[in-house]
Amino acid sequence: MREIRTIGIPRGLMAYRDGVLWKEFFERLGFVCAVSPKSDRELLGKGTACAVDETCLPFKMYLGHVIWLIGKCDVIFIPRMGGYDTREKMCTRYEALPDLVRNIFRDEQIRVLTVSYDWYTKTTEEKVYLELGALLGKSKKETKKAYGHARKRQEAWLKVKEREQDHALEGGKIKVLLAGHPYVLHDAYMGGELARILRKMDVEVIYTDYADREGALRKSYDLSRVMPWLINREITGALFMLRRKVDGIILVSAYPCGPDALVNDMLVRKLKDIPVLSLTLDAQSGTAGVETRMESFIDIIRYQKAGGYGNKDR
Amino acid sequence: MKKKAYLGIDIGSISTKGVIISEENEFLAECYLWTEGNPMQATKNVLCRLKEQFDDAGYRIVASGTTGSARKLVGSMIGAQVVKNEITAHAVGTTTLHPDVRTILEIGGQDSKIICVENGVAVDYAMNTLCAAGTGAFLSSQAHRLGVAVEEFGEIALRAKKAAPIAARCTVFAESDLVHKLQVGCPKEEIIAGLCKAVAGNYLNNVAKGKKIAAPVVFQGGVSKNAGVVRMFEEELGMPVLVDERGHLMGAFGIAVLAGEQQEDAGFSFDVADMEFRTREIICGKCANHCEIICVYRESRLIDSWGNRCDNGAVS
């Protein structure tokens, strides 16, 4: 086996949530990280070409990022995340991720660095990272220290995002909350497009994942005791923490997402006193449909605020 | 001194509608014709028809607006001051004529939507997503199968004693259901009544799912001309459903009303109907996104372009 120097991180899926932690952790342990670039149509096209039709758009995009990393690193980091608690699981895509990638790229013989955890074997995040450090041949002491730093770095990063967002919430612009999985909201080709269109309409874009994670998770239990997915819990909790501070909510989902299909349907029913728009993104290249829907939605908010269309006094 | 008038054009995928209204929101000219896949030609045709009806001596068009799926293209073509989505245009148009309306149902050729209104302004809306089941196109294809003109559907449906149960969740299932009903000897009018019921049911279960439908209800779009569907809506909702004679023009009317709210006197000339317009699609090669950029030319000169996701793709 070749010595590992450079670890590849695909800019997709949970990298949008935990990427700061991963990168810092590996770098603290003395590795170099190669992160794939922002998503674009070419990466999606390449990913789609090697994925089965029925799988979700973010997974196809993820595969595009994996392809980009081939030949640019010694190993690609693809964790298998099951979740730490039965009511805070990850979707099946994550439970199968390294296996899926290995199988899809069996001809390319890519080397995958993985670590695995599940809700049915009691563990903690720290233990998982200690295991990862051991896999990379690092001592327990080094790894523990690296994890500690990485954890802090991630928390600090999120705090900055939170603070920036709090500041934006004070402003006078129309504020729209984008609620969805971080890897949909912040992917340049998916949520990035929505944010671009909204900003063009002079709207302040607020995100559900720039909120206190633990707080959001706790809050989600007020709304559902049984919901089994961690990320949907974080979305739901943050949504209810932020909803009084925004003028409208867009539930953003990438087609097809099982957890979103169930949870967003519930959210639409629970969010009664605020304009809500449900948007499902798919691989369609044109943004006209999405643009019309968002424009109509912003019009509703604007004219509501203005108190009518101005057609009454004529 | 000529009185002020406003032009509104609604360019949909199936039909193109145009109206000219006065400051008092009276219809001075109106036109409805098929888009036939060519929004620019359809707009020129609409403008020619409007010009014929328009009282040139008494009125002057001071502002114009466009709505519908080709609003941007036609907007830059005619130099419209207001280019707005069809939800807002329909809401404005309908609330102008029916100030007390609470719910607007609309079923067109390929799409359907619902707009919920409170105090004369839209508060919520929904549009059908990918599937066109239960729209005008669906009724047309079924009419063809039954050998009946779709325009007669409503009248035939009203004659039926009962409606045959037909699944309209999906066009494919509805079609096999319909064939089955025919084969077991179900009368044609009951099947037609069943189709109308299916359209109403499909709409309420899909587009209008979870929306509160409050009276007064106004029903628009091509399918609103079908009395059978209107009756099925009334039965399902248990309230009267109002169909405006000019319901099909409501988007064009709404955008004309919005154009009328413009302060500036921008003017408009029917000359655009005689000008040469051309569009060109170019694929931007400046990054991996390969955006499809639409360029619009008037008399061979670029007047507008869009479709680029970033400034690198700006065409000038």
**Assigned token pair, A5:** 């120097």
Residue A195 lies in a domain: yes
Which of A164-173, B88-97, B129-138 is predicted with the least confidence, judged by mean pLDDT?
B129-138
Q: Note whether A105 and A196 are same-domain residues.
A: no
- Cβ-proximal residues to B269 (8 Å cutoff; 6+ apart), any chain: none
Identify whether A166 is part of a domain: no
For residue A10, give every residue at least 6 positions away whose Cβ sits within 8 Å of its Cβ, in sequence order, or none: A36, A62, A65, A66, A68, A69, A76, A78
Distances (CA, A) of A298 to A291, B114, B123, B182, B210: 10, 16, 11, 47, 20
Closest residue of chain A to B87, computed from CA coordinates: A296
pLDDT in tens, B49-88: 999 999 999 999 999 999 998 999 999 999 999 999 999 9
pLDDT tens column, B3-40: 999 999 999 888 899 999 999 999 999 999 998 889 99
Picking from B85, B122, B129, the nearest residue to A303 by CB comes out as B122
B149/chain A closest Cα distance in angstroms = 32
Verify whether the Cβ–Cβ distance A268 to B123 is below 8 Å: no
Please compute the mean of the pLDDT values over residues B286-300 and round it to a whole number.
Answer: 87
Sequence length of chain A is: 314
Report how many domains make up chain B.
Answer: 3
A310 found inside a domain? no
Claim to verify: residue B106 and residue B218 sit in the same structural domain: yes
Task: Determine the 3-state secondary structure of A77 from DSSP.
Answer: strand
The reported pLDDT for the residue numbered A314 is: 45
Same domain, A188 and A298: yes
Asked if B137 and B155 sit in the same domain, the reply is yes
Report CA-CA distances (Å) from B224 to A77, A136, B15, B199, B245: 57, 68, 15, 11, 10
Task: Say yes or no: B238 and B303 in one domain.
Answer: no
Q: Which residues are CB-contacts of B246 (< 8 A; sequence separation ≥ 6)?
A: B27, B30, B97, B253
Q: Name the minimum distance, in Å, from the CA of B88 to any CA of chain A.
A: 6
Between A41, A307, A311, which is nearest B257 by CB? Answer: A311
Does residue A1 sit within a domain? no
Higher pLDDT, A314 or A81: A81
Q: For the whole model, what pTM was predicted?
A: 0.89
Confidence class for position A312, pLDDT limits 50, 70, 90: low
Does the ipTM exceed 0.95? no
Residue A260 placed within a domain: yes
Interface touch B292/A296, C-beta < 8 Å: no
What values do phi and psi take at A66, rounded to 5? -60, -45
**With contacts defined as CB-CB under 8 Å, which chain B residues touch A253?**
none
**What residues does A112 pair with on adjacent strands?**
A76
Total structural domains within chain A: 2
| Pair (A24, A130) in one structural domain | yes
pLDDT tens sequence across B223-279: 998 999 999 999 999 999 999 899 889 999 999 999 998 877 888 989 988 889 989
Can you tell me the distance from the alpha carbon of A66 to that of A110, in angstroms, rounded to the nearest whole number? Answer: 9
Cβ separation A300–B124 shorter than 8 A: yes
Q: Check B122 against A292: CB less than 8 A apart.
A: no
**Are A239 and A249 within 8 A, CB to CB?**
yes
Provide the 10 A C-beta neighbour count for residue B209. Answer: 12
Which domain, by its residues, includes A26? Answer: 6-152
Query: Is A73 among the domain residues?
Result: yes
Please check whether residues A194 and A114 belong to one and the same domain.
Answer: no
End-to-end CA distance of chain B: 40
Same domain (yes/no): B230, B291: no
C-beta of residue B79 within 8 angstroms of C-beta of residue B65: no
Question: Under an 8 A CB cutoff, do B290 and A42 touch?
Answer: yes
Does B283 lie at the interface with A, CB-CB under 8 angstroms?
A: no
A225 in reach of chain B (CB within 8 A): no
Query: Which of B123, B125, B309 minimises the CB distance to A296?
Result: B125
Q: How far is B244 from chain A (nearest CA, A)?
A: 19
Q: Which of B199, B221, B243 is the last residue of a domain?
A: B243
Residues present in chain B in total: 316
CA dist B166 and B155 (Å) reads: 19
Tokens of B26: 């009276």
Average pLDDT, integer, range A112-116: 95
Same domain, B90 and B140: no
The residue range of the domain holding B177 is 100-243
